[in-house]
Structure 1
Amino acid sequence: MPDLLLSSGVRTAPVFLGLILVVLVLLSRLLSPQIYAQEPPVIHPRLPFIGHAVGMARRGPHYFKQLSSRMNSGIATLPMLNGRMYVVSSPELASQVQRASKTLDFVQLIVDVAPRMICLSKEGSIILSTAESKQKPGERMVNTVVNHVIHPFLTPTAIADIVSSQLQDLTSFLNNRPATQEKENLYRLLMNEFIKVTMVTFYGPENPFAMHPELVDDFLVWERDLPMLMIGVVPQWTARKQYLALQRIRVGFEEYITAGRFEQAYDLVRLRHQAHVDAGFSLQDRALMEIPMCLAFGINAAATSFWMVNNIFSRPELLEEIRSELLRTLEGSHTISYTKIRASCPLLYSTLRETLRLVATLSTTRVTIDDTIIGKEYLLKKGNIVQIIGSAIHADKEIWGADVDTFNPRRFYYSQNGTKTADDGSVPGRKEDQIHAAAFRSFGGGASLCPGRDFAAIELLTVTAALVLSFDITPAEGYKWDPPFDDKRFLIAVTKPKEDIFVNFKRRTDTEGVNWVLKY
């Protein structure tokens, strides 16, 4: 009898699966939206109705890279459940999406996604979606905070004071390192230090992470699996670990606020918080709304610095060339100037851009608040998501050259937009080989162009310069450079290493006793 049941089960399983497939096909036909002829070409999922959603959940950004090979027009419509998503893999069309900011809205995306990201209360979500600016009647509060509070403080001319403070703290970190240190977890070392320094710079010495160092671990737990929270379905159970970590950070910021410590904060942070007070957000919601700012300030720079160190120190010839560049920029024997690095170290700057191309393959997302025509022929219907898929654009051989999947430190040597490489991997200096500006997606583009990109470049170039000049860094026994990317997660920040790498630091003899000064 057991054999008979087993045999019966084996025979009926295909029938059962076939019935499921039939049901999905019928649901797809009944519930799928009407696709208009003028919309971008449709890519139907292999599994009807839910196929694209399943593919995104399983493969993350790799799913979009896979689809891009079927996007002959550089844009496509993906039917998903009873709606659709438009995906863009063409730099030319990406620039048009960015320019259509009146009907392809970034603010609406913040309003829709941010509350789930930080588990904002229902009341806070309503305020975020309805509040108007006092400064410009009729303008959304989110626009006001971004355009009138954040952007003015992060322009190249306005960041001198805050950069000086940041660089002073980073200098202390570099100068106080022992001459020899073995088996150090490189990623965690840089992450901890960048978070520590950045929080002091923006929130003052009594920030929540300084008062409660254990919150750094909670912050990394929350950030690592943000998409689980952003699904927004009973997060206290479906994303319990991230939810509890988030709540502990919230308590730390509530303590910070009630103790009046915002008076220590940088003007950008203090004025942003005051805008939230004026809008009527509760204490709990105001505390929660500080957490994404910490993500913007600290995580990306720390992760990028890890990959910069990896990419340079794993290539001895590149390391020596960059050292030679940097030695020519020193003021005296111990002052490292960002201004001089930017002007006189094209190889180091190109290395930064190429590192970002590989590890910061972020997507730019918009919500269509009205029907919009892109490329003079493609209709984007109101009420849908548009994604410029950075992972596909950054991996396109037609844009970057045959070596697109490998690190090429000279790819941005002649142009900050990049140059298409020759078949042998060399980088021609000809203007006609320069790449479209919208192909580099690491800082977003258009209305969502990262306002802190200049600040991040200053941090990364000066710290990398000091490490290159000060230390020989080698993998500890049993470890090697170039750990694999943890790149099957949807990226909120820079790609993390999938495996830890422990390294040995040894101070170079010609810099022993040198106390570096990092300056803007």
Structure 2
Amino acid sequence: MSLLPVIGVVAGSFLFLAALLKLSTRKSNGVEEPPAVSSKVPFIGHILGMMHHKVFYYQILRDRIKAPIFSVPILGKSIYVVTSPQLVSTVQRMTKTLAFEPVVAMASPRIAGCSAEAEKALQYNVDGKQGEKGYLRTFFTTMHPSLAPGPALDAMNRIMIQQIAKSADALASASMKRVNLCDWLRHELTMATTYSVYGPGNPMVDEKVERAFWDFERNLMMILLNIFPSFTARKGIAARRTVGKAFERYFENEEHTSGSALVKARYKHSREYGIPVSDIGAFETGGCLATLANTFPTAYWMLTYIYSHPKVLQECRDEVQRITTVTTAEDGSVLHSIDMTSIKASCPVITATLQEVLRHTAVGSTVRGVLEDTTLDGYILKKGNTLLTPANVIHTDPTLWGTDPTAFDHQRFLRVPGKKLPSATAFRAFGGGATLCPGRHFATTEVLATATVFIARFDMKPVFDNWPQPDRSSAQFWTQVLEPNREFEVKVSEKEGLLGQQKHKWEFKLSESEVVLAMAAEDLGEAGK
């Protein structure tokens, strides 16, 4: 629920448009840039490697050079890749010279298809030379109160949880319980999320708008590349227009006044900087990328990892059972009541499992532009280049995660006395520092709510094949979480032990609480450590 997916998209644009970059030198006052990784094919070798291996190319280079930071030279320019959590902490403090706002300002107009007037507002003071003012430099601080633990976030969470509970009721009562897991989660979580953000006037309730958004998402790379877009990105641009117009009507009709504190804050912020309503509608297309594109894949992998490991499923069910209140009504029906606050506060196996799922499937990069020549770890980072911190590079480092970082260990993040955990900055699923995802609390609650509803109510098994594994070939440059298997079908049935003559009812709620589920170093107060 931030602009981080936009930043991930930008990484791809830097790579594919590298041929447009100007030449630069490799030294400045005798100080060298980070060690460069050579390619077998001169000039275009790295570009070919990136096109073939996509986001995983940096892992290949990491294993080859084994350095805390290295350079990927492309036609005279450098992409700096940080692999060390210690350096990540340093980079996050260097916001004046290593900034993400210019990167967002470059990508956002192309993604949203906004006007020149809106683009001008985005570009204003992106380098921060005029202090902390300007649309982008104040965007996150404006959004933060509505996404931080507290009443505004609780209000969104309650709507979202009730929508997921209704979806589960419908699934339980359906005569046919064979479903495409990807399609089901994508639709149901789209509705749960957008109702919680946009309120009763939610534009996504229109099937045409929902379908257009996912068409836009699938065609995003071609929109970004902007190579003969009227031909190569025609479908994506048409879909973007459909979604943008729907949100333009939403704001013109003042439907946002019945929406969440988040959408009200976004609208107010844009109007304060003179952005027309038509462009605010266009911006919401990008806003939906932030709120939707990563949550349903995460929920998909959370469920498939849990259900494909019987031991994990049983441990998670034991935790859910311990915090479930069961009462019997006069008519003999049984009410199962679950407070999602207790899941976050009292179910460490479930929350640790979510972190391990994200370690395996989160592949996004945080991207920063080098605004001035900057010294880092004894190396010079040259102005005009780009710095990346790819999550998958750090998440698969054997020096951080043990000799087999590809192994799935649902207790890896479990905090127990005497157990040493990796540095909190080594977990990069939500970025960090100035690029830390402000919507991580909402996103994790939504994934946990989805998982809890299934764990408590349903048994699930594949229809044909074995449980799917993450597919590396599906990862595009802008991907933050690996794509689900779109064809995977499951059989869903009431959990064993719930069948019988008694009628079972379910209540999922959220009590008032400022419990913080630590999903980033900043949540633990360890961002600079």
- Corresponding position of 1:86: 80
What is the CA deviation profile of residues 401-430 of structure 1, one whole-angstrom value per residue up to 9, with x for unaligned ones?
123113211111127xxxxxxxxxxxxx64
Residue from 199, 208, 230 that aligns with 2:203: 208
Alignment RMSD: 2.2
- Corresponding position of 2:504: 513
What is the CA deviation profile of residues 364-419 of structure 1, one whole-angstrom value per residue up to 9, with x for unaligned ones?
111111222222x121112211001212111112211123113211111127xxxx
Aligned residues of 1:61 and 1:487 also touching (Cα < 8 A): no
Pair 156,276 (structure 1): closer, same or farther in 2 beyond 3 Å: same
Deviation, 1:274, is 2.4
- Corresponding position of 1:397: 398
Is 1:463 aligned to residue 458 of structure 2?
Answer: no
Is 1:221 aligned to residue 215 of structure 2?
Answer: yes
- Corresponding position of 1:8: none
Deviation larger for 162-171 or 445-454: 162-171
Give the distance between the partners of 2:125 and 2:198, measured in 1 at CA. 26
Pair 301,138 (structure 1): closer, same or farther in 2 beyond 3 Å: closer
- Corresponding position of 1:327: 321
Correspondence list, 1:25-104, <5 A: 32-36=23-27, 37-104=31-98
Is 1:480 aligned to residue 480 of structure 2?
Answer: no
- Corresponding position of 2:184: 189
Calculate percent identity across the aligned residue pairs. 32
- Corresponding position of 1:436: 423
Deviation larger for 216-225 or 435-444: 216-225
Aligned residues of 1:32 and 1:49 also touching (Cα < 8 A): no
Aligned residues of 1:43 and 1:76 also touching (Cα < 8 A): yes
Task: Output the amino acid matched with 1:399.
Answer: L
- Corresponding position of 1:367: 369
Residue 504 of structure 2 aligns to a residue whose secondary structure is coil
Aligned residues of 1:362 and 1:389 also touching (Cα < 8 A): yes
- Corresponding position of 1:299: 293
Total equivalences in the alignment: 471
Give the distance between the partners of 1:93 and 1:235, measured in 2 at CA. 39
Pair 221,38 (structure 1): closer, same or farther in 2 beyond 3 Å: same
Task: Output the amino acid matched with 1:504.
Answer: K
Aligned residues of 2:164 and 2:450 also touching (Cα < 8 A): yes
Aligned residues of 2:183 and 2:486 also touching (Cα < 8 A): no
Task: Output the amino acid matched with 1:192.
Answer: H
Task: Output the amino acid matched with 2:150.
Answer: T
Give the distance between the partners of 1:257 and 1:402, measured in 2 at CA. 53
Pair 338,515 (structure 1): closer, same or farther in 2 beyond 3 Å: closer
Task: Output the amino acid matched with 2:465.
Answer: Y
Deviation, 1:509, is 5.0
Aligned residues of 2:395 and 2:426 also touching (Cα < 8 A): yes
Deviation, 1:162, is 1.9
- Corresponding position of 2:434: 447
Aligned residues of 2:366 and 2:390 also touching (Cα < 8 A): yes
Residue 53 of structure 1 aligns to a residue whose secondary structure is helix
- Corresponding position of 1:411: 412
Is 1:118 aligned to residue 104 of structure 2?
Answer: no
Deviation, 1:165, is 2.0
Task: Output the amino acid matched with 1:355.
Answer: V
Aligned residues of 1:109 and 1:367 also touching (Cα < 8 A): yes
- Greater relative contact order structure (CA < 8 Å, 6+ sep): 2
- Corresponding position of 1:6: none
Deviation, 1:354, is 0.5
- Corresponding position of 2:146: 153
Task: Output the amino acid matched with 1:371.
Answer: D
Task: Output the amino acid matched with 1:50.
Answer: I
Deviation, 1:137, is 7.3
Aligned residues of 1:466 and 1:516 also touching (Cα < 8 A): no
Structure 2 stretches of 5 or more lacking a match?
Answer: 1-18, 328-335, 512-529
Deviation, 1:483, is 4.0
Deviation larger for 508-517 or 213-222: 508-517
Task: Output the amino acid matched with 2:427.
Answer: F
Give the distance between the partners of 1:271 and 1:316, measured in 2 at CA. 44
Give the distance between the partners of 2:279 and 2:232, measured in 1 at CA. 21
Residue 137 of structure 2 aligns to a residue whose secondary structure is helix
Give the distance between the partners of 2:45 and 2:114, measured in 1 at CA. 30
Correspondence list, 1:336-347, <5 A: 336-347=338-349
**TM-score, normalised relative to structure 2:** 0.84
Aligned residues of 1:219 and 1:249 also touching (Cα < 8 A): yes
- Corresponding position of 2:352: 350
What is the CA deviation profile of residues 175-228 of structure 1, one whole-angstrom value per residue up to 9, with x for unaligned ones?
332356432000110110111111111112222211x21222221222234232
Aligned residues of 1:60 and 1:487 also touching (Cα < 8 A): no
Deviation, 1:119, is 2.4
Give the distance between the partners of 1:266 and 1:499, measured in 2 at CA. 31
Aligned residues of 1:337 and 1:462 also touching (Cα < 8 A): no
Deviation, 1:127, is 2.0
Give the distance between the partners of 1:230 and 1:127, measured in 2 at CA. 20
Regions of 4+ moved over 4 Å: none
Residue from 133, 138, 156 that aligns with 1:139: 133
- Corresponding position of 1:386: 387
What is the CA deviation profile of residues 288-317 of structure 1, one whole-angstrom value per residue up to 9, with x for unaligned ones?
101121122223221111111101111122
Larger Rg: 1
Structure 1 stretches of 5 or more lacking a match?
Answer: 1-27, 416-428
- Corresponding position of 2:305: 311
Task: Output the amino acid matched with 1:461.
Answer: L
Correspondence list, 1:483-498, <5 A: 483-485=469-471, 486-498=473-485
Aligned residues of 2:33 and 2:379 also touching (Cα < 8 A): yes
Task: Output the amino acid matched with 2:160.
Answer: Q
Deviation, 1:155, is 1.0
Aligned residues of 1:38 and 1:378 also touching (Cα < 8 A): yes
